């Protein structure tokens, strides 16, 4: 049996300003850093064999903050996955026994919000109407202008999940995935077989953690 940890990133500065962050690279908000220890405490006793994240700063910074609070010598070693090929960020010769391979892929990026990226959400509601903005944010099939729908995110994330992450779970490894809201929701949809019309009800808060046990191809949620 192995475990899958789905961790949403700490709140970024643009999240704090209530902007559509999407693929932009706003760092973690300073006042959110205190949350890192809370997140780390939930994971500190767990054996984490491998980590997957995206190149967005808020995701990679969350990984670093989690490991910084472990205080047991474990540390992430970032490896970029590009078109199915590994590109090492560093020299593998000097990797320590406590370094945890952390694979980075744009496949785990947040939903691309197109023309809405960077806009304040309240101002966007005034411009387009509250119902339209709500539809863009929560509908599984409707995409904002020039952006991705929830279905587009699912189509991007799940093949990567099956090829890389699920393969590690099948090999008996415990996997930590640190990502943004919509990629994590896509994984939850796949794992729990959630119908598209129910996806608006799936919410993972900032710094939220979901834990699943994986055994013989089946996932079971672990309640904490």
Question: Which residue matches tokens 């990226």?
Answer: 117
pLDDT bracket for residue 80 (50, 70, 90) = confident
pLDDT bracket for residue 211 (50, 70, 90) = very high
Question: What does the pLDDT read at residue 98?
Answer: 81
Q: Which of 2-16, 65-79, 181-195 has the lowest mean pLDDT?
A: 65-79
Contact, 5 vs 177, CB < 8 A?
yes
What is the rounded average pLDDT of the residues 16-25? 92
0.85 exceeded by the pTM?
A: yes
Tell me whether residue 148 is one of the annotated catalytic residues: no
Q: Select which of 88, 106, 110, 197 is catalytic.
A: 110
What is the rounded average pLDDT of the residues 85-104? 67
Tell me whether residue 9 is one of the annotated catalytic residues: yes
Question: What does the pLDDT read at residue 59?
Answer: 97
Phi, psi at 69, each rounded to 5°: -90, -5
Q: What angle do CA 118, 5, 184 make, to 5 degrees?
A: 35
User: To the nearest whole percent, how much of the chain has pLDDT over 90?
Assistant: 78
pLDDT bracket for residue 100 (50, 70, 90) = very high
What is the rounded average pLDDT of the residues 28-37? 90
Nearest to 21 by CA among 153, 150, 106, 119: 119
Nearest to 190 by CA among 168, 146, 160: 160
Q: Select which of 9, 65, 166, 168 is catalytic.
A: 9
Domains of the chain: 2-222 (3.40.50.1240)
How many whole angstroms separate alpha carbon 169 and alpha carbon 166?
5
What is the rounded average pLDDT of the residues 135-155? 93
Contact, 21 vs 59, CB < 8 A?
no
């Amino acid at each position: 049996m192995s475990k899958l940890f789905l961790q949403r990133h700490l709140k970024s500065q643009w999240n704090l300003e209530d902007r559509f962050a999407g693929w932009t690279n706003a760092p973690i908000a300073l006042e959110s850093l205190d949350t890192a220890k809370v997140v780390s405490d939930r994971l500190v006793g767990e054996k984490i064999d491998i980590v997957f994240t995206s190149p967005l700063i808020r995701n990679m910074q969350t990984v670093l903050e989690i490991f910084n609070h472990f205080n047991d010598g474990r540390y992430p070693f970032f490896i970029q996955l590009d078109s199915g090929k590994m590109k090492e960020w560093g020299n593998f010769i000097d990797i320590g026994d406590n370094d945890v391979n952390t694979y980075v892929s744009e496949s785990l990026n947040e939903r691309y919000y197109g023309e809405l990226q960077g806009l304040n959400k309240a101002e966007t509601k005034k411009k387009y109407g509250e119902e339209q903005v709500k539809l863009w944010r929560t509908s599984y099939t409707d995409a904002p202008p020039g952006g991705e729908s929830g279905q587009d995110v699912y189509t991007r994330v799940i093949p990567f999940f099956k090829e890389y992450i699920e393969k590690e779970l099948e090999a008996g490894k415990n996997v930590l995935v640190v990502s943004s809201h919509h990629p994590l929701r896509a994984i939850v949809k796949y794992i729990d077989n959630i119908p598209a019309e129910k996806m608006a009800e799936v919410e993972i808060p900032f710094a939220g953690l979901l834990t699943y046990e994986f055994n013989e191809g089946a996932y079971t949620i672990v309640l904490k």
